[in-house]
Amino acid sequence: MTRVALFLTVTLTAGLALAAPPKDKPVPGDDKLLSRQPYPEVGKKVEVTVVEYTGVGEDGSLAAAKRTTKKEVGTVPAKPDWKFGADGWIDADGFNLTKIARDSGLLGLRPAAGQEQGGNMAEERDVITHIDGVAVTDVESFWYALGRAKNKKDLRIVIRDGTSGDEFLLYTTLTQVKP
């Protein structure tokens, strides 16, 4: 291989490596996806943290918001007949999105309740950290939060951008699952 060809190969390879998005945490195998997890035992006791925000930016930004937290104890409800239209895995950070359906409300997020679908879109690698104020830290807290939410068509979520790490309080519409 000539020096020029070797230089170009090394330069292109290094450039591609630098252009790739950072991978902050490894993606677990498909067996960890929410869609592959069994539904938790109905009635199982769940202790969650509920967060309320004040001072949210007009775009839903939480950069300057104040947070108040409280503990809440409840039970896992019967499986709700609503879905996000997305899949991913859940860990202590939240619901890590890996797949988003074309008809998901996560593709039309809005900064205020009652608005038509907005121009904000969730993307793969974003993390839903809270659903209706409930911190999502495991499968039980995820299902508890969905069951607890009063308005599934104007559902308040906190989503962390998978690239910047910025957090936003936005609203989404869930899709009702037909029996």
pLDDT digits (tens, 9 = 90+) for 138-172: 999 999 999 999 999 999 999 999 999 999 999 99
User: CB–CB of 153/119 below 8 Å?
Assistant: no
User: CB–CB of 96/127 below 8 Å?
Assistant: yes
Q: Which CATH class is domain 24-176?
A: mainly beta
Does residue 18 register a pLDDT over 60?
no
| pLDDT tens string 1-14 | 444 333 333 333 33
The string over 88-107, giving b where at least 16 C-beta atoms fall within 10 Å of a residue's C-beta and e elsewhere, is bbbeeebbbbbebeeebbbb
Note the pLDDT of residue 102.
Answer: 93
pLDDT band of 114, cuts 50, 70, 90 = confident
Note the pLDDT of residue 135.
Answer: 97
Nearest to 82 by CA among 174, 179, 173: 174
Where is 108: in which H helix or E strand? none
